[in-house]
């Protein structure tokens, strides 16, 4: 039911097949109120090409039960695409209980024709360890009851709801229990309080903990994650679908979404957007409209931003530039930036990302600063260089400056070495340094990603200790006893060269600087 088409980091473009059709991931599923739709689901489908939405089976059960069974959930909300239904867990989080059993709501979701369904879980929220443990045990008990009912036959794709909140040990326990059960996909609950409190680091740790446990061949849904500023991070960490009602809830509060955060309509002088709302109205005109009309239009703008961000994420995956999108988006908020840095410092997560990141991509990489060096492609390439056996075996290597040097080719470097050090001419190996990877053997210069990596001198200086150490490790690891460095005229790069020279001499390696 899930086919992967393209991937980058843990993000993937895929197709989920349901009984009502197929939709592409990553996908944002707008929450549709089955009783009152500010923006009709049919219009969302028509305007944004939306193929899947989510609605609340418990509300239908309580208020439209007969109609739901007779007409089916698709007709109740007037949507002919894929419909995912939640079971009432949100109501349980808000009100403490719901008037339905796990078997009843599971049977009801099948009866109304849900394409993707969720057992009656017990959301954890921001609570103590004891309360969180209780929510996990109740969720697992409910899941067991649900499976008893589904053993009689099912048509929908069913989610394994993972609870535990920010208590990672409980989250891992819940996920490990669910892995052995016959579910079609997984769903991570309780992120909303963390997002509302800007506790992004905890949220990222939750996703990472779950992703390390669940099978990679099954999709992961993230409940309540509908803000565009978080979408690329959720996708990069392995979330395939996510839902939210925030487009409407924010609009009710006069909040205007953008990919970099949320703005107050009352404080806007200009709209930084060209959607059908922003191109027609000024902020002042929108503020002057009646409440219902203003909320509707603001909801429409918020939806537009969400769907646009999903398209940008998909293109970044196709181009192999998802990490670069994260680096740009991370600067949207200090706490998001801190969470991004913490994500890159999670070695197990980076190793997992490395396994799922293609070795070659259709576009080159842009590396900005020392944070960029933590991305999986860089660590993998450095590792492959350490294991590489150079084409020419020698105890001397000539290092040519990749940027800022007078000699840009091996031929030019050979002429200089022959003039200055004739005793090593014709015997030495050649490689390029002053780059993010350390030393690149001359024969690999045009192999991906070496000549396809864009960086500046500022990166080398920002990460000079790191890059110098990688350079030295390569030389020591390949057994070179003599290093000839072709110096540069750039003062900053000269400083870098002297740092490499010093580190090599500390290792007992002879260094000649020409």
pLDDT, tens only, 301-353: 999 999 999 999 999 999 999 999 999 999 999 999 999 999 999 999 999 99
3-state secondary structure of 396: strand
Cα 286 to Cα 459: distance, rounded to the nearest angstrom: 45
Cα 463 to Cα 475: distance, rounded to the nearest angstrom: 19
Beta pairing partners, 29 = 243
φ/ψ of 8, rounded to 5, equals: -160, 135
Closest CA to 201 of 340, 347, 322: 340
Comparison of pLDDT for 224 and 305, the residue scoring more: 305
Looking at the predicted structure, is the pLDDT value of residue 95 above 60?
no
Looking at the predicted structure, is the pLDDT value of residue 502 above 80?
yes
Q: Which CATH number fits domain 2-245+318-353: 1.20.1050.10, 3.20.20.105, 3.20.20.100, 1.10.260.40?
A: 3.20.20.105
Which two three-digit tokens encode residue 84? 């995912």
Residue pair 376/353 in contact by the 8 Å Cβ criterion: yes
Cα 12 to Cα 118: distance, rounded to the nearest angstrom: 23
Residue pair 185/219 in contact by the 8 Å Cβ criterion: yes
pLDDT at 65: 95
Looking at the predicted structure, is the pLDDT value of residue 90 above 80?
no
Looking at the predicted structure, is the pLDDT value of residue 94 above 80?
no
φ/ψ of 233, rounded to 5, equals: -70, -40
Comparison of pLDDT for 407 and 271, the residue scoring more: 271
pLDDT, tens only, 398-440: 999 988 766 678 898 899 999 999 998 889 999 999 999 999 9
pLDDT, tens only, 143-195: 999 999 998 789 999 999 999 999 999 999 999 999 999 999 999 988 888 88
pLDDT at 92: 62
pLDDT at 151: 86
Give the residue ranges of DSSP H helices in 225-282.
231-236, 246-252
pLDDT, tens only, 374-398: 999 999 999 999 999 998 889 999 9
Is the overall model pTM greater than 0.85, yes or no? yes
**pLDDT interval class at 93 (50, 70, 90):** low
pLDDT, tens only, 10-48: 999 999 999 999 999 999 999 999 999 999 999 999 999
Which two three-digit tokens encode residue 155? 């048509």
Q: How far is CA 371 from CA 190, 326, 466, in A?
A: 29, 11, 11
* Least confident window among 92-96, 183-187, 487-491: 92-96
Q: Where are the domains of the chain?
A: 2-245+318-353, 365-513
Q: Which residues are catalytic?
A: 86
pLDDT at 342: 96
CATH T-level fold of 365-513: Rossmann fold (3.40.50)
């Amino acid at each position: 039911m899930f086919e992967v088409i393209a991937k980058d980091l843990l993000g993937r473009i895929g197709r989920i097949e349901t009984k009502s059709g197929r939709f592409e991931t990553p996908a944002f599923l707008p929450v549709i109120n089955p009783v009152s739709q500010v923006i009709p689901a049919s219009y969302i489908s028509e305007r944004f090409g939306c193929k899947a939405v989510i609605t609340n089976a418990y509300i239908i059960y309580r208020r439209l039960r007969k109609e739901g069974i007779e007409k089916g959930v698709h007709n109740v909300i007037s949507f002919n695409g894929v419909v995912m239904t939640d079971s009432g867990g949100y109501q349980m989080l808000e009100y403490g209980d719901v008037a339905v059993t796990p078997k009843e709501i599971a049977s009801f979701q099948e009866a109304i024709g849900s394409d993707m369904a969720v057992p009656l879980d017990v959301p954890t929220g921001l609570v103590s360890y004891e309360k969180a443990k209780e929510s996990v045990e109740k969720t697992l008990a409910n899941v067991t009851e649900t499976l008893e009912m589904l053993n009689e036959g099912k048509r929908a794709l069913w989610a394994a709801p993972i609870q535990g909140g920010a208590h990672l040990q409980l989250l891992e326990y819940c996920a490990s229990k669910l892995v052995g059960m016959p579910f079609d996909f997984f769903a991570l609950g309780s992120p909303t309080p963390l997002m509302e409190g800007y506790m992004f680091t905890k949220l990222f740790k939750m996703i990472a903990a779950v992703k390390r446990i669940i099978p990679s061949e099954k999709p992961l849904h993230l409940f309540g994650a509908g803000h565009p500023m978080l979408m690329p991070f959720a996708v990069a960490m392995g979330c395939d679908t996510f839902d939210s009602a925030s487009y409407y809830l924010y609009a009710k509060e006069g909040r205007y979404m953008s990919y970099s955060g949320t703005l107050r309509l009352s404080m806007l002088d200009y709209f930084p957007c060209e959607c059908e709302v922003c191109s027609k109205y000024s902020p002042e005109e929108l503020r002057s409209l009646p409440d219902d009309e203003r909320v509707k239009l603001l909801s429409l703008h918020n939806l537009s931003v969400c769907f646009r961000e999903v398209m940008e994420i998909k293109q970044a995956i196709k181009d192999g530039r998802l990490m670069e999108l994260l680096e740009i988006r991370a600067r949207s908020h200090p706490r998001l930036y801190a969470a991004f840095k913490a994500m890159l410092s999670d070695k197990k997560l980076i190793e997992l990302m490395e396994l799922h990141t293609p070795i070659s991509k259709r576009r080159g990489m842009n590396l900005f600063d020392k944070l960029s060096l933590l991305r999986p492609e860089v660590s993998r390439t450095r590792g492959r260089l350490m294991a590489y056996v150079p084409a020419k075996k020698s105890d001397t290597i000539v290092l040519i400056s990749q940027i800022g040097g007078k000699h840009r080719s091996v031929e030019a470097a050979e002429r200089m070495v022959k003039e200055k050090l004739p005793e090593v001419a014709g015997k030495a190996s050649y490689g390029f340094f002053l780059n993010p990877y350390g030393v690149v053997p001359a024969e690999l210069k045009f192999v991906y990603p070496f000549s396809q990596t864009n960086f500046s001198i500022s990166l080398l200086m920002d990460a000079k200790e790191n890059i110098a150490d990688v350079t030295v490790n390569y030389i020591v690891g390949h057994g070179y006893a003599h290093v000839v460095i072709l110096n540069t005229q750039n003062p900053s790069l000269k400083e870098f060269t002297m740092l490499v020279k010093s580190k090599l001499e500390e290792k007992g390696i002879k260094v000649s600087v020409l």
